[in-house]
Amino acid sequence: MRVLAIETSCDETGAAVLEKNNEIKLLSNITATSLAIHATTGGIIPENAAREQVKFIIPTIIESLLASEKIETSSNPEKDLKNVQKILKETIDVIAVTYGPGLIGSLLVGVETAKTLSFVLNKPLIPVNHLLAHLFANFISTNHEFRTPNFPFIGLIVSGGHTDLLYFESVKRYTWLGGTRDDAAGEALDKIGRLLNLQYPAGPEIERRAKLVEKPTIKFQSPLLHSKDFDFSFSGLKTEVYRFVKAGEAITSQGGKSIPNRVWNRSSTSEDLTNQICYAVQKAIIDVLVSKTVKAAEKYKVQTIVLGGGVSANETLRNEFKLNAKHSQLNAQIFAPEKFLSTDNAAMIGAYALMDYKPVNWQEVEANPELYFA
């Protein structure tokens, strides 16, 4: 069974082809991104993202289909189109598309393209929940030593828009345990990055700077670390960093006074200080993510933890998960997708569609920006 998967929920345009036999193999995975445009505005303006989706969608699908048959795009568009038509008709069994959550303008581009392909080619169409798909990126076989996670597992989705903890008994049976009450983990990193004048999206840069810190000197609170539920909250952290930065600016300009409850290294250059803040922010976020996820695994007595979403590309987060899981009573195994499958991509959409094969008439598929967990 071969799927052509399409992802356009936000600022990435993705098309991928996957095949399922005993395992799910990735035949092609093309991602076009409009990140450079959003970097100039310090965040995503939905109208801009949607316009870029319109520009990229057809070339991305063409490239992905050709790559699935190991054909490079040529300088002869007519020849490429003939090849693409043949590949679509003869090799693709089903089409999968993200129908939510996301930005309505962006989602519509992918959904309407997928519906048109389904109608014209008379092939089944599977609408996919983008959030859940982040976890199912872990089921894509990427090398010969590949292992898939076992059910049941605790899934943690940590992306730019979401932070959610779920208990999965099987592909079809899952329970939402908790999520963020305000900002998502990635959103907090990006907003704090803006405060520190880092480029959007700030997650990777915060990780890079945190790694440069040898002796941490600042500590921020991990929000809701000790609450009994599985909820998260990250907007307070942003405020804490804001106050810290503002206080630091005032003190530096006055020639220095100590800041209550903080160790302020007055000899720091501003670069060092930014790195220290990055370290402390990253640690505050990782500590609470790890602690609550491991607690959920203990409560539900599962030995598998599955991570997904852009923030799960963070190596420190992955390492902390591995360390803590080893030391918990469960000795849980940690799964995280390869980095290129952590951030938004179409491969994860195809993987979930192949694992949970539920075609829907194309007339019934609609973009749903508010989709959560159905």
Count Cβ atoms below 10 Å from residue 172 Cβ, excluding itself.
9
Interaction pattern, residues 132-161, with ligand KG4; x per rule: CB under 6 A:
---------------------------xxx
How far does the chain reach from its first CA to its final CA, in angstroms? 26
Closer residue to ligand KG4 (CB): 32 or 313: 313
Phi-psi region of 70 (alpha: psi -120 to 50; beta: other; left: phi over 0): left
Contact (Cβ atoms closer than 8 angstroms) between residue 154 and residue 293:
yes
Q: Interacting stretch for Zn ion, rule CB under 5 A, among 28-36, 97-105, 316-324, 338-346?
A: 338-346
CA–CA dist 221, 25 (Å, integer): 42
Residue 45 beta carbon to Zn ion: minimum distance, rounded to whole angstroms: 18
Interaction pattern, residues 284-313, with ligand KG4; x per rule: CB under 6 A:
-------------------------xxx-x
Q: Is 14 in the site for ligand KG4 (CB under 6 A)?
A: no
| Residue 80 interacts with, from Zn ion, ligand KG4, none (CB under 5-8 Å by kind) | none
Residue 365 beta carbon to ligand KG4: minimum distance, rounded to whole angstroms: 20
CA–CA dist 144, 146 (Å, integer): 5
Closest C-alpha to 343, from 319, 317, 311 = 311
Quick one: which of 107, 344, 345, 371 contacts Zn ion (CB under 5 A)?
Answer: 344
CA–CA dist 96, 359 (Å, integer): 9
**Helix, strand, coil distribution of the chain in percent, nearest 5:** 45, 20, 35
| Residue 152 interacts with, from Zn ion, ligand KG4, none (CB under 5-8 Å by kind) | none
Residue 308 beta carbon to ligand KG4: minimum distance, rounded to whole angstroms: 8
Q: Interacting stretch for Zn ion, rule CB under 5 A, among 72-80, 115-123, 153-161, 313-321?
A: 153-161
* C-alpha 244, offset from chain centre: 29
Contact (Cβ atoms closer than 8 angstroms) between residue 348 and residue 138:
no
In the region spanning residues 156 to 185, those forming contacts with Zn ion, defined by CB under 5 A, are 159
Footprint on this chain of ligand KG4 (rule: CB under 6 A): 10, 159-161, 186, 189-190, 201-204, 207, 309-311, 313-314, 343-344
